[in-house]
Structure 1
């Protein structure tokens, strides 16, 4: 199934065989298959580990990194839901020479604002097509890296930590309230010497974002080895930055993974921590959190535990009690709920 921007792009694929095509930040839909069906010389630059893995399975050259690759021909950026993430992509793409740059996106997804942002910095932008409440824009000229101030942001975090963030990362530039709630529970547990928060050897931070949860654990000497994973290369870069800024990179691995899919089959942990997402794009999606909870026992060593923070209305307790014999609510302020589960 194709998303509306991909449906708009599909109208042009038959006429685009004369030069190579690179899709930047494409959605996780059938657009890759459509491009191959039209015989296009296709490559992909994505921040989404899942898309990168789909490319690998289909033999499509792909980059899952923020370092600027060497691109040529026609390059199409799928405009993301976060304006700053789209601007970050353009900061990179406008440094490339000799490419034909296009942008496709939904009207409600900010494509009009993207056009205005570009025109504000002196770019020449023309509409090539519109349908399905989407637009396809051609960037005829744009100064290189037009938003130089946009990029990594560092700010003060809890207990003396420096936190680093990137555009497109959840709660960019600030500590989100859910993580703050979980950290306050952990801080209290340390003060009261609650056995549940004893140190562990191997820690997994699922959906690491800017890395605050895993970094705090290492900073407090509550984990020897940290594995932090996320689907987003923006988040992975932010986590790596946070660990480096606090001297915590030793005995830490930052990897692309969709929940547990990027781990080896043999990897298990003494503790899993997460502030799991419950949105895919603009839609509520419980599937990621449900899979993270239900598959957690397979990834935990005997006696290992799971700590998660969630909005209080989310149905996590049911999945936890189905998956673990020991489940506790460690805090509930009416908005956020902190769950603890242990593999016995």
Structure 2
């Protein structure tokens, strides 16, 4: 899945002489075997990722023990390589979380796709580094290099947590950079909540994001047993904070699709993702639609919202034998299927 090098890593492989002088802390949009390439040509890097799928994959490599979470562990690092994430706010967050682990004079690198925001590297590094140099550009990707010129302030998660209020639900939603619905309740989730009806039993919030769906369901159906899963450590932390902020409880854990869940559910509910990095990405949702029936109790339901143009009803019908459209507007549709 991650074996082939991306164009960004292809460009970085031309610069191993400067990247492999010390073991780097590598983080950001990790999509390939770049850490192994670095380990083959120098000291093994330390890899921190907020992506559970990548964490699991890289964990099978003998040379590297990756870290998964919303922030890296507090041990010092000799340098940093940030692979530019999709959201600039997430890049700022990762720099704030990682740079306090470096000493003054340590090298700092930012690399990424030219269409993915990497050109903002000088501005991103300005608070920490006096000079930023563009050292390479190839394959529509660029690499910037700098040196930490002043100690970074200790990382404080609360500085990066934002809140917004849902008056109809009487909920306060906590969010972190890069998490879906980070600024407000999106229209698709609102339509889903308006048509979710009354739920009972064991409920799974698939791809929980900032926890809006799960927290709303708990408010409306306090007797349910809720589990929330996501591939993103930042999403899980945002959901944890949302639950705590509203005095609610659920079982949160990382999962690549349904792989880490156990037993069967009365309902699986989701506003599933279809973007990953710079690419449109459907496979997670397609796998969910194919597998969900096997994770539901007899009579249990799959309930999801999707962009109206996506061909999900056909996939649902193939797996469940039927697909009901509960609601629709110009952009979104709400689908339900029963096991």
Partner secondary structure for residue 57 of structure 1: coil
After superposition, the CA RMSD in angstroms is 2.2
1:62 and 2:66 correspond: yes
Report the TM-score, using the length of structure 1 for normalisation: 0.89
269-278 vs 94-103, which moves further = 94-103
Instruction: Find the partner of 1:92 among 90, 93, 97.
Output: 97
Partner secondary structure for residue 213 of structure 1: helix
Partner secondary structure for residue 35 of structure 1: helix
Change (3 A) 1:178 1:74: same
Contact 2:11 2:139 in 1 (8 A): yes
> Which residue number corresponds to residue 272 of structure 2?
276
> Which residue number corresponds to residue 240 of structure 1?
240
Change (3 A) 1:212 1:20: same
C-alpha separation in 1, matches of 2:19 and 2:120: 27
1:320 and 2:329 correspond: no
1:297 and 2:306 correspond: no
Change (3 A) 1:211 1:66: same
Contact 2:28 2:91 in 1 (8 A): no
Q: For residues 85-113 of structure 1, what are the alpha-carbon distances to aligned partners after superposition, in whole Å with 9 as ceiling and x for unaligned?
A: 00111111222232422111122111112
Note the C-alpha offset of 1:120. 6.6
Report the TM-score, using the length of structure 2 for normalisation: 0.90
Change (3 A) 1:327 1:14: same
Contact 1:49 1:232 in 2 (8 A): yes
Note the C-alpha offset of 1:56. 1.3
Partner secondary structure for residue 175 of structure 1: coil
Unaligned runs of 5+ in 2: none
> Which residue number corresponds to residue 310 of structure 1?
306
> Which residue number corresponds to residue 338 of structure 1?
334
> How do 1:174-189 residues align onto structure 2 when only pairs under 5 Å count?
174-186=184-196, 189=197
C-alpha separation in 2, matches of 1:87 and 1:15: 24
C-alpha separation in 2, matches of 1:74 and 1:118: 14
Q: For residues 113-143 of structure 1, what are the alpha-carbon distances to aligned partners after superposition, in whole Å with 9 as ceiling and x for unaligned?
A: 2322433777432223222222212232356
Contact 1:203 1:226 in 2 (8 A): yes
C-alpha separation in 1, matches of 2:155 and 2:114: 22
Note the C-alpha offset of 1:78. 0.5
Change (3 A) 1:145 1:314: farther
Instruction: Find the partner of 2:108 among 95, 101, 106.
Output: 101
C-alpha separation in 1, matches of 2:18 and 2:93: 29
Q: For residues 26-53 of structure 1, what are the alpha-carbon distances to aligned partners after superposition, in whole Å with 9 as ceiling and x for unaligned?
A: 4222223323433532221011111111
Instruction: Find the partner of 2:76 among 57, 71, 78.
Output: 71
Q: For residues 222-256 of structure 1, what are the alpha-carbon distances to aligned partners after superposition, in whole Å with 9 as ceiling and x for unaligned?
A: 5532111111111111111111111112xx11111
Contact 1:118 1:142 in 2 (8 A): no
C-alpha separation in 2, matches of 1:16 and 1:168: 27
Contact 1:123 1:143 in 2 (8 A): no
11-20 vs 254-263, which moves further = 11-20
Contact 1:28 1:50 in 2 (8 A): no
37-46 vs 292-301, which moves further = 37-46
Contact 1:311 1:335 in 2 (8 A): yes
Contact 2:100 2:154 in 1 (8 A): no
C-alpha separation in 2, matches of 1:131 and 1:309: 40
